[in-house]
Amino acid sequence: MGASPPIAALHGTRVLDFSTVGPAARCARILADYGSEVVKIGSPKQGALQIEPAYWAYGAGRGTKRIRIDLKAREGREAFLRLVGQADVVLESFRPGVANKLGVGYADASRVNPRVIYCSTSGYGQTGPASRWAGHDLDYLAIGGFLHMSGRSADGGPALPGASIADAAAGGMHAAIAILAALLRRARSGRGEFLDVSVAEGVLSLMALLVDEHLAIGSDPGPGHDVLSGRFACYGVYATRDQKWLAVGAIETAFWANLCRVLGLERWIAHQYDDAQQDRIRADLAAAFRTRDRDAWVAELAPADTCVAPVLSVSELPQCPQFQARGVIAEVEHPQHGRFRQLAPVLAGASRPEPVARARSAETSDAEPLLRAAGYAAAEIEALLGAGTVA
């Protein structure tokens, strides 16, 4: 007999999630992929200020449940707090202060369940002069210094990032790490806690090497400041004959020497970090790479310890042999949209879904079983549903 599949790391934990998009939704996806039962809490009111993501986004609802609760109604708040009694984590991304005004903030939740971990994600944190500012990914990257260090666009300004880095890493992963640490603390103390996740401060964490350098020695980093930001030719992006691109990250002298030998540019081995020669080195590298197609260069250079990789487009990723070998693509069956592919859980130790995972429709409701598990009688559930307080 084969070995049974390992128990998911967060199996047995329940997360009540108010988010629909953005950093908190990224966090909820991570927690679900590690085995948490994530219950998405939405609003039953038509026209509520709530973005419903595309059916394929955020894992297509894979492994999550849904309930809609009118938090402005007393009975709705009571229903939410009944659910809190059985929850391990509450995850919200309202403007600072809104959850408290609704009567569903940390103080309300912890009175019902002192063990609950309440994670508030916001752009700038719950306190401070920027705490009430509206914002999105680009704003957090801007205030956190990331955008200033980015390459420059045609007009000389910072280039737009190619992915929502603040939402995903500075926000979603930040919140998930904080929640995991809080779960470990609770295992020792028996008490829950409040987590104030600031996406902008998560960006500072991503920028720590440069911020700490400035604080220590007074430097003023910008594009081209050091090896990682474009100062030297050994770390950059180069065009190939077929109008595609190669990423070269030959920082170490041994890797740089390997690259120069393959390209017939041995004369530059000793000048890797010679500022006076960088323009000439770049020109020679660019000329060499333009003589062959991208994939031909990758086939020769990547196995030769040169720190060279192809710049793949999003449409090329599913065909990448490395990702195919690692099984990062999963199939999903959606009740309205049929079968399609999506990324499988790719973070280390996350639980891979069955061969065909089941997506959840935005119209799905798990209200009845959730309320029943929270101790509501059948007549009470019927009254809540009939009044539209819960859906």
CA distances from 249 to 36, 244, 294 (A): 38, 17, 16
Q: For residues 188 and 256, state if they share a domain.
A: no
pLDDT at 48 over 60: no
Asked if 136 is an active-site residue, the reply is yes
Same domain, yes or no: 62 and 157: yes
Contact 331, 339 (CB under 8 A): yes
Q: What is the CATH number of the domain that holds 298?
A: 3.30.1540.10
Decide which of 286, 319, 352 is a domain's last residue: 319
Query: Quick check: is 82 in a domain?
Result: yes
Q: How far apart are CA 158 and CA 136, in angstroms?
A: 16
Please indicate whether residue 334 is annotated as part of the active site: no
Q: With respect to residue 184, please indicate whether it lies within any of the assigned structural domains.
A: yes
Helix (H/G/I), strand (E/B), else coil: 256? helix
Same domain (yes/no): 158, 253: no
Question: Structural domain tally of the chain?
Answer: 2
pLDDT tens-digit map of 249-300:
999 999 999 999 999 999 999 999 999 999 999 999 999 999 999 999 999 9
Identify whether 155 is part of a domain.
Answer: yes
Q: How far is CA 342 from CA 20, 169, 234, 357, in A?
A: 18, 20, 35, 10
Residues 290 and 175 in one domain: no
Q: Are 90 and 168 in the same domain?
A: yes
Co-location of 81 and 158 in the same domain: yes
Residue 31, in any domain of the structure? yes
For the segment 57-85, what is each residue's pLDDT rounded down to a tens digit? Answer: 999 989 899 999 999 999 999 999 999 99
Q: List the CATH number of the domain containing 375.
A: 3.40.50.10540
Do the beta carbons of residue 64 and residue 38 sit within 8 Å?
A: yes
State residue 344's pLDDT score.
Answer: 93
Residues 19 and 25: beta-carbon distance below 8 Å: yes
- Given 136, 242, 274, 295, which residue is catalytic? 136
pLDDT tens-digit readout, 359-370: 988 889 999 999
Domain final position from 266, 286, 319 = 319
Residues 163 and 20 in one domain: yes
| Given 108, 139, 167, 284, the catalytic residue | 167
Q: Does residue 158 sit in the same domain as residue 267?
A: no
Phi, psi of 183 (to 5 degrees): -65, -40
- pLDDT higher than 60, residue 1: no
Residue 277 domain-assigned (yes or no) = yes
pLDDT tens, residue by residue, 303-345:
999 999 999 999 999 999 999 999 999 999 999 999 999 999 9
Are residues 164 and 300 located together in one domain of the fold?
no
* Domain of 248, in residue numbers: 227-319
Distance, CA of 303 to CA of 321 (rounded, Å)? 14
User: Is the residue at 328 inside a domain?
Assistant: no
Give the span between the Cα atoms of 373 and 370, in whole angstroms: 5
The pTM assigned to this predicted structure is: 0.93
| 155 shares a domain with 39 | yes
Q: Alpha-carbon distance 259 to 46, whole Å?
A: 60
271 lies in a domain? yes
